[in-house]
Amino acid sequence: MADETRPWEQDVEGGSFGSWLRRQREAREIGLRDISSASKISIRYLEALEEDRFEVLPASVFVRGFLREYAKIVGLDPDEVVNSYLVVNPEDDEDDSDQSRPTSVERPGLPIWTLLAVLGVLLAIVAGFSFWSSRGGGESEEIPGIVPPSPTAVVAPADTGTDPQSQPALPLVLTMDFNQNSWVVVFIDGERKVSELRVQGESLRVEASSEIKVTLGNFAGVSFELNGSPYAVAGSDDEEIVIDLAALGDSASSSASQDADQP
């Protein structure tokens, strides 16, 4: 539960939480652009904090992160600043279950063909032993033409004769490399999965079956790969980027059709 302390009420100038923040910053002769440059937080969000316009700010987990970064740069106690904010907005003291930091995104496991090969070996072993058990274990009679499977044999996947390019499209796999600090929000197939601050040098990998939506606080500081290939994205800070599997398929089909029409 947030402490009921209101530092701006103890200030001779009074005011509000936002005006108290501004006075603390100005007293230290720190500009908003300095804070924005150091924290990669949009200036319009910093202005909203100092003007008590909380309704234009993103989710509360973002606001708390903004305030902690603001406090560190200005020289205030981050916990005191966040607790003071919660006095003004007590509803944000509740857990944001849909905005909590997700567990680390799982890395891809073994290739599918390797798993199929192992499964094929196990099935062959089980089938072989079942057959020999039904024949009395093969102790009194040798069955011509029947060779029991070797436990160490490797069964390669059967060749179905299907062109790999005709296989169903793989799920969307988006990798983001953070060259600079940036806030990031990710919706995967319509559900919020990521809402957090990523620092320089980190990477984030997400998968979706049909759609990925990404919003970044520092768009220029992030590079993208889609399904293992560099992916050029047009966007800007705080703008939602939509990567849709159906749209990508239509784009690829259109490109292939144009190539086929050329002499």
**Each residue of 91-143: pLDDT tens digit?**
766 545 444 444 444 444 556 767 777 787 788 787 776 666 666 554 444 44
Does residue 216 have a pLDDT over 70? Answer: yes
Closest CA to 57 of 68, 70, 44, 76: 44
Give the integer Cα–Cα distance in Å for 229 and 154: 32
- Locate the DSSP E strands across 127-210: 172-178, 182-188, 191-198, 203-208
Give the integer Cα–Cα distance in Å for 28 and 41: 19
Does residue 167 have a pLDDT over 70? Answer: no
Which pLDDT does position 247 carry in this prediction?
82
Give the integer Cα–Cα distance in Å for 20 and 11: 8
Give the integer Cα–Cα distance in Å for 159 and 60: 53
Which pLDDT does position 6 carry in this prediction?
72
| pLDDT, greater one: 199 or 76 | 76
Side chain identity at 59, as an amino acid letter?
Answer: A
Domains and CATH numbers, the chain: 7-95 (1.10.260.40), 112-156 (no CATH), 172-261 (no CATH)
Condensed to tens digits (0 to 9), the pLDDT of residues 34-59 reads 999 999 999 999 999 999 998 989 88
By mean pLDDT, which of 15-19, 56-60, 154-158, 175-179 is the weakest? Answer: 154-158
Average pLDDT, the chain: 76
Q: Are 235 and 241 in contact (CB under 8 A)?
A: yes
Which pLDDT does position 66 carry in this prediction?
94
Which pLDDT does position 13 carry in this prediction?
62
Which pLDDT does position 123 carry in this prediction?
81
pTM of the predicted model as reported, rounded to 2 decimal places = 0.42
Which pLDDT does position 182 carry in this prediction?
87
Backbone angles phi, psi at 122, to 5 degrees: -60, -45
Give the integer Cα–Cα distance in Å for 95 and 61: 9
Condensed to tens digits (0 to 9), the pLDDT of residues 16-31 reads 888 999 999 999 999 9
By mean pLDDT, which of 52-56, 194-198, 223-227 is the weakest? Answer: 194-198
